């Protein structure tokens, strides 16, 4: 239990229990106010005027539930086929295509200025904030203020907290609009505040860099991020390949890049069996579920996507969604499982079925959270399935 990682604050078990309950004790409130008072000096040194600090932290109280979020490792590690099934489902492809059409003129301008194509920009938008529909609900000053004063990453979060105060001080975004994830990513692009400061763009020309309420600013900021991360408009991110029987994939990975001629010599082909294209640049072999699942050769552009959020599954979701938005189909090779993942529509359906069986699953939102997992386990027990809290096609069929 990493809640005990507060030695500097001398917190006792009693407070830890409060923390675990997500409540704010009088002790935590006092600690927080003392901590904030101590941050005034460092904030000023970091460019936050005293008046701004006072104004934007007035009445601020800590949200101790956020520490819970930071400290609790998810018990459940999601298989990549579940992750991909929800992030790149038919709904998101259809909505992405609609957004491509709606913002065509803007996206063309962004492509000219930053050298990143519309499908890639829209794919990032779709995965980061579901095209501006999911920003997170945590007021940023409260979330980052809390993490600056409690928990085991205070120094890191203080940098983000001060950046937040500078963003507000500069008037880019109104304080009441600035909400995001519990860890401080916000807006259409889900940038952290320091990333905002480095890379956010004012593309609509109103003098503010507004990633909450300006789609032009947001899409240009995403393209600017990828461009700074080394995006090369002349290259693809990569593509699915077919491996020769018996190829040893141990030691291969996206970082271990070789010229395509090397891969061709080792027997790799395009997934339809045709020869690898004669492209310049080098590519690494990524097999996120081992040699039996889908395999990909990924170029430097994949690294640019990866730098947006350092997870290969995340990078693959964006890359694949961008291909789908260019008209490509799903991966040709199935994931190595007999219990494929659920789209968001299927997740909503399973939540409705669970609710109909009397389980309290909260809002039917297509996100399988703690309440859904408890209900899933109960049904798995009843049905004699493996009890793991994961919902796939098998459970959906059984409940139907
Ligand atoms: Ca603007």
Same domain? 183 vs 275: no
Distance CA 296, CA 299 (A): 10
Ligand 1 centroid to Cα of residue 308, in Å, is 22
Ligand 1 centroid to Cα of residue 230, in Å, is 24
Query: What is the model's pLDDT at position 349?
Result: 97
Ligand 1 centroid to Cα of residue 233, in Å, is 25
Same domain? 276 vs 315: yes
Same domain? 266 vs 190: no
Same domain? 250 vs 315: yes
Ligand 1 centroid to Cα of residue 221, in Å, is 11
Query: What range defines the domain where residue 382 resides?
Result: 344-399
Cβ atoms of 147 and 70 closer than 8 Å:
yes
- In which element (H, E) is residue 139 found? strand 138-139
Query: What is the model's pLDDT at position 4?
Result: 30
Ligand 1 centroid to Cα of residue 11, in Å, is 44
Cβ atoms of 287 and 55 closer than 8 Å:
no
Q: Does 7 map to a domain? A: no
Cβ atoms of 300 and 281 closer than 8 Å:
yes
Ligand 1 centroid to Cα of residue 199, in Å, is 13
Q: Does 156 map to a domain? A: yes
Ligand 1 centroid to Cα of residue 177, in Å, is 15
Query: What is the model's pLDDT at position 76?
Result: 60
Q: Does 263 map to a domain? A: yes
Using a CB cutoff of 5 Å, list residues around ligand 1, an ion.
202, 204, 206, 208, 210, 214, 217
Last residue of a domain, one of 325, 359, 383: 325
Same domain? 356 vs 221: no
Ligand 1 centroid to Cα of residue 168, in Å, is 14
Query: What is the model's pLDDT at position 22?
Result: 47
Ligand 1 centroid to Cα of residue 160, in Å, is 21
Ligand 1 centroid to Cα of residue 144, in Å, is 24
Task: Find the DSSP H helices in 130-214.
Answer: 140-149, 154-169, 193-199
Ligand 1 centroid to Cα of residue 222, in Å, is 14
Ligand 1 centroid to Cα of residue 218, in Å, is 9
Ligand 1 centroid to Cα of residue 236, in Å, is 30
Ligand 1 centroid to Cα of residue 172, in Å, is 8
Q: Does 361 map to a domain? A: yes
Q: How far is CA 35 from the centre of its chain?
A: 30
Please give the chain's pLDDT, 400 residues, in tens.
223 333 333 333 434 444 444 456 888 999 999 999 999 999 999 999 999 999 999 999 999 999 988 887 665 678 999 999 999 999 999 999 999 999 999 999 999 999 999 999 999 999 999 999 999 999 999 999 999 999 999 999 999 999 999 999 999 999 999 999 999 999 999 999 999 999 999 999 999 999 999 999 999 999 999 999 999 999 999 999 999 999 999 999 999 999 999 999 999 999 999 999 999 999 999 999 999 999 999 999 999 999 998 899 999 999 999 999 999 999 999 999 999 999 999 999 999 999 999 999 999 999 898 899 999 999 999 999 999 999 999 999 999 9
Same domain? 38 vs 149: yes
Q: Is the pTM of this model over 0.85?
A: yes
Ligand 1 centroid to Cα of residue 117, in Å, is 21
Same domain? 251 vs 167: no
Same domain? 158 vs 281: no
- Virtual CA dihedral for 146, 147, 152, 155, nearest 10 degrees? -120
Instruction: List Cβ neighbours of 292 (8 Å cut-off, separation of 6 or more).
Output: 336
Least Cα distance to 340 among 289, 399, 400, 391 occurs for 391
Last residue of a domain, one of 228, 260, 277: 228
Strands of 170-305 (E only): list them.
Answer: 179-180, 238-242, 258-259, 269-270, 282-286, 295-298
Same domain? 359 vs 223: no
Ligand 1 centroid to Cα of residue 216, in Å, is 7
The total number of structural domains in the chain stands at 3
Same domain? 293 vs 184: no
| SS3 label, residue 297 | strand
Last residue of a domain, one of 193, 228, 263: 228
């Amino acid at each position: 239990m990493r809640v005990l990682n507060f030695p500097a604050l001398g917190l006792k078990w009693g407070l830890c229990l409060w923390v675990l309950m997500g409540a704010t004790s009088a002790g935590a409130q006092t600690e927080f106010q003392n901590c904030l008072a101590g941050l005034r000096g460092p904030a000023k040194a970091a460019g936050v005027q005293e008046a701004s600090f006072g104004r934007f932290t007035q009445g601020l109280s800590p949200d101790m539930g956020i520490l819970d979020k930071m400290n609790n490792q998810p018990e459940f590690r999601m298989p990549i086929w579940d992750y991909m099934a929800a992030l790149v489902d038919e709904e998101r492809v259809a909505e992405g295509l609609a957004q491509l059409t709606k913002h065509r003129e803007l996206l063309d301008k962004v492509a000219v200025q930053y050298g990143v194509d519309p499908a890639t920009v829209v794919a990032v938008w779709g995965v980061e904030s579901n095209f501006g529909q999911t920003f997170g609900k945590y007021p940023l000053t409260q979330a980052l203020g809390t993490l600056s004063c409690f928990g085991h990453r205070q120094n890191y979060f203080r940098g983000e907290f001060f950046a937040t105060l500078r963003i507000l001080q500069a008037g880019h975004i109104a304080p009441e609009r600035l909400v995001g994830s519990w860890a401080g990513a916000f807006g259409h692009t889900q940038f952290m505040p320091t990333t905002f400061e480095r890379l956010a763009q004012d593309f609509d020309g109103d003098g503010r860099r507004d990633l909450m309420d300006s789609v032009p600013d947001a899409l240009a900021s995403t393209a600017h991020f990828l461009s700074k991360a080394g995006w090369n408009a002349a290259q693809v991110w990569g593509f699915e390949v077919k491996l020769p029987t018996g190829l040893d994939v141990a030691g291969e990975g996206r970082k271990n890049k070789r010229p395509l001629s090397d891969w061709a010599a080792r027997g790799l082909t395009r997934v339809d069996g045709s020869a690898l294209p004669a492209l310049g640049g080098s590519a690494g072999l990524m097999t996120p579920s081992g040699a039996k699942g889908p395999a990909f050769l990924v170029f430097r552009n994949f690294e640019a996507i990866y730098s947006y959020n350092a997870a290969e599954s995340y990078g693959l979701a964006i890359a694949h969604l961008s291909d789908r938005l260019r008209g490509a189909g799903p991966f040709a090779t199935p994931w190595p499982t007999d219990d494929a993942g659920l789209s968001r529509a299927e997740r909503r359906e399973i939540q409705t079925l669970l609710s109909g069986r009397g389980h309290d699953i909260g809002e039917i939102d297509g996100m399988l959270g703690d309440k859904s997992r408890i209900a899933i386990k109960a049904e798995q027990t009843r049905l004699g399935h493996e009890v793991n809290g994961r919902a796939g096609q098998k459970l959906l069929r059984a409940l139907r």
